[in-house]
Structure 1
């Protein structure tokens, strides 16, 4: 839960969906005399079912002669589309999405490099189609039939164990060595790690679920689900202007995230084109942590005590030393009694990059709430996902420092963990990971 800002809403990977007139329909499916109309084509037909209602909202069933209905394409949230092909995989610099699914798979007994390559090929085809607002190529469930792309992204990564299962140990990056143990860890091994990792995000819950179901079905006999986690964020347009997200503690969370506009952004987040191994060029490493928030304990604190734990005002995210959310924190400022205004163990102080040798990571989390536990406390918190060119220089030093005295540690619990190598984006005609699996 480092003190870094969320990605902006103008992510370079997003573009608007084509209008219905520009989008060809999906060819008829086998056994269907009429075929299945593509989701993009349906964007312009949303008003066609309301013929019986007058403009002022007449009662259902009002008898009237059929009149031409102007088809209006979806705009805003539903029409936003991310690109599958590109230098980097989608879902890294894409703006935070309202709904997310994280899922890890293990290859099944007998599945090796050949089966993994076929699986990544299937997954890539499915991801490309769904992100474009089309139905899955086979046995589509129609869950998202009426929706636009809704900024759907599907991102794929490889865990440490993937390389031994596929005979590719020599291609395993050194940066993928297992994370060290941290004193705050209370990890459930069954919900940690995995051979393969998939991140799904969208601004519509049904679109996100549709992608999750398609990916799970595509796994077939080659892989089985190891664990799955579901998350959410604030929906786009829920605030009067774009804002840094809030977490379930009510705190603005992510103020100091590195931004794509910064000149050193790529160097801190992505593996360089000349990096090693070659197949990881333009890729990144994702650290995934399920962090339980002990909300009952947290909510017993006064507002002032909560702000002291974080080091920022709860109302607007401004540092306790003064200014606005983006004002640089004055770590040396004291009150009239000579006490530090930003406490020495405040979370925002400990996680500042300039207090950690410049360590930087791009945080892109989801909140989660999985019901109420047997003890009556909410099973809720943060699905922490952070991206960096090298986790040894990005995540590890910050987490070690948090271990040694972060005031927030009393109110959170790290319950699962994973580290995944996420290769660069697939070029046109490629599938994700092809340079590894066929290199």
Structure 2
């Protein structure tokens, strides 16, 4: 029988995007729902090329919005953005290979006192049912809140992982991966432990805010008595079609962010990002490890820096993301180039220099973050920054060596604070008729 997860590039077809987002791969990974019949033309949303997008289809279980006056009986199909649909039953869980979505939620749960392996398995089965239905544009299975009744799936993805403590709570210590050992302490950490770690971790992403919230609420309700929310964070990215042409997104410092992210077309992409079939432990085949960090940006301090100094900290031009050594955004950085005084054009402590794979023994990770803004502190400074999410086959060969080097001398460290942290084992996608983590919990 054909395994629907056997090809992580063919299960999803590209939908219209604004281009590569910060921390996301360049290729789109959403499919269009079939167009619903209509006798009227729908004026689509403006795409990245400036052209009008064609009409998509109506998601099952939802009523599409009207393109004409209310008295007109015709029902218009969804725009292409609303009709984008990511598949649930895939080789790698959804929410890893898709371009970064406009709206995101990260949430961690702890199993309730007395809950163990049986309760966890039942919870994962419920969550998988919710995810499959909502990602297809259908209502939640129980007490749907109707928050996104008028919308299509909007590229919704749900990704589920296990924290280090999950295995002790469920009596599965022998199945805990060695790669899930706690991250080492870093000198720049200012971690709030109540907003870190957790038995279970869920990432929700979509290109529509109510669709993302609808999924978050449905998952939280399905936790019932089995698990309790430990922490929750919300984030955002550039909306598809927000730029005149495809462009790498910018972070809240105004810097182009995500230029050198690994791409699925790279020969060693799978090796860097995913656990291979036949790897250890077996239940993690085709899975990945997610490092999650809440990184607050000290924007008041950053914005006082002259442009020239900001660019020296990063090692790239702010205007277009090109390296200070010259060329365009994707031009290879010349680390040996000197200025008239004999100093490196790209400073030795520039963030872009330090994070290059060839400066870290080839260490690389797929970054897929969200920006966040959670109001203002008592002194008026914005509580804002990056919800950093990186994917790697082994965090000890991906995130850890890069962060250790940043910890020793990154010029950007003076303008950021790592305030929360988590590491999660994210198994491969669930096959038809299965739930996420079934091989672990029933193996």
CA distance in 2 between counterparts of 1:122 and 1:178 reads 28
| SS of match in other structure, 1:144 | coil
Q: 1:10 aligns with which of 2, 18, 27?
A: 27
Q: What is the CA distance between 1:45 and its match in structure 2?
A: 4.8
- Counterpart among 51, 54, 57 of residue 70 in structure 2: 51
CA deviations on 1:70-95 (whole Å, 9 max, x unpaired) are: 43211221110100001000000111
Determine the C-alpha separation between the residues in 2 that align with 1:19 and 1:293: 43
Partner of 1:319: 323
Q: Is the 8 A contact 1:287 1:391 kept in 2?
A: yes
What is the aligned partner in structure 2 of residue 137 from structure 1?
141
Deviation string, structure 1 residues 75-121 (Cα, Å, up to 9, x no partner): 22111010000100000011110000000000000100000000000
Secondary structure at the residue paired with 1:230? strand
* Residues 69 and 9 of structure 1: CA distance in aligned 2, closer, same or farther (over 3 Å): farther
- Are 2:289 and 1:280 aligned? no
Aligned residue for 2:357?
353
Cα separation, 2, equivalents of 1:371 and 1:275? 44
**CA distance change for structure 1 residues 427 and 331 in 2, over 3 Å: closer, same or farther?**
same
Separation of aligned partners in 2, 1:233 and 1:292: 16
In the alignment, structure 1 residue 400 sits paired with structure 2 residue 404: yes
Matched, 1:391 2:395: yes
Which of 111, 116, 119 is the aligned partner of 1:107?
111
Compute the displacement of 1:274 (Å).
1.1
TM-score (normalised: structure 1): 0.90
Q: Deviations for 1:97-154, whole angstroms, at most 9, x for unmatched residues? A: 0000000000000100000000000000000000000000110000000011100000
How far 1:8 sits from its partner (Å)? 4.0
Deviations, residues 30-56 of structure 1 (Å, cap 9, x unaligned): xxxxxxxx95354545236x235xxxx
| Alpha-carbon contact 2:62-2:138 (below 8 Å) kept | no
Q: How does 1:50-89 map to 2 (within 5 A)?
A: 50-51=69-70, 69-89=73-93
For 1:184 and 1:191, locate their aligned partners in 2 and report how far apart those are by CA, in whole Å.
17
Find out whether 1:218 has 2:222 as its counterpart.
Answer: yes
- Could you tell me whether the CA contact under 8 Å between 2:369 and 2:386 is conserved in 1? yes
Describe the SS at the equivalent of 1:40: coil
1:194 aligns with 2:192: no
Structure 1 runs not aligned, ≥5 long = 22-37, 53-67
Equivalent pair of 1:309/1:408 in contact (CA under 8 Å)? yes
1:169 aligns with 2:169: no
Deviations 1:12-40 (A, max 9, x none): 4x11123346xxxxxxxxxxxxxxxx953
Question: How far apart, in 2, do the equivalents of 1:151 and 1:73 lie?
Answer: 16
Deviation string 1:172-223 (CA, Å, 9 cap, x unpaired) is 0000000000000000000000000000000000000000000000000000
State yes or no: 1:234 paired with 2:254.
Answer: no
Q: CA–CA distance in 2 between the matches of 1:235 and 1:40?
A: 24
Alpha-carbon distance in structure 2 between the residues aligned to 1:45 and 1:91? 27
Aligned residue-pair number: 404
Measure how far apart 1:404 and its partner are: 0.4
Tell me what 1:146 maps to: 150
Q: Distance in 2 between matches of 1:43 and 1:310?
A: 47
After superposition, the C-alpha distances for 1:326-354 in whole angstroms (9 at most, x for unaligned) are: 00000010111111100000000000000
CA RMSD of aligned residues (A): 1.5
- SS of residue matched to 1:312: coil
Counterpart in 2 of 1:62? none
| Deviation of 1:376 (Å) | 1.4
Measure, in 2, the Cα distance between the counterparts of 1:142 and 1:70: 22
For residues 180 and 104 of structure 1, the distance between their equivalents in structure 2, rounded to whole angstroms, comes to: 20
Is the Cα–Cα contact under 8 Å of residues 47 and 69 in structure 1 kept in the other structure? no
2:60 aligned residue (40, 59, 64): 40
Q: 1:355 to 1:280 in 2, by over 3 A?
A: same
Please name the residue that 1:301 is paired with.
305
* Preserved CA contact (<8 Å) 1:90 1:153: yes
Give 5+ residue unaligned stretches, structure 2: 1-20, 38-57
Q: Deviations over 1:248-279 (max 9, x none)?
A: 00000111100001111001000000100000
Please say if residues 63 and 149 of structure 2, whose CA atoms lie closer than 8 Å, have aligned partners that are also in contact. no
> Bigger radius of gyration, 1 or 2?
1
Match of 2:294 in 1: 290
Compared with structure 1, are the counterparts of its residues 273 and 434 closer, same or farther at alpha carbon in structure 2 (3 Å cutoff)? same
TM-score (ref. length: structure 2): 0.89
SS at match of 1:307: helix
Q: Give, in whole Å, the separation in 2 of the partners of 1:107 and 1:251.
A: 39
> For the residues of structure 2 that align with 1:289 and 1:218, how far apart are their CA atoms?
26
Q: Does the CA contact (< 8 Å) of 1:231 and 1:367 recur in 2?
A: yes
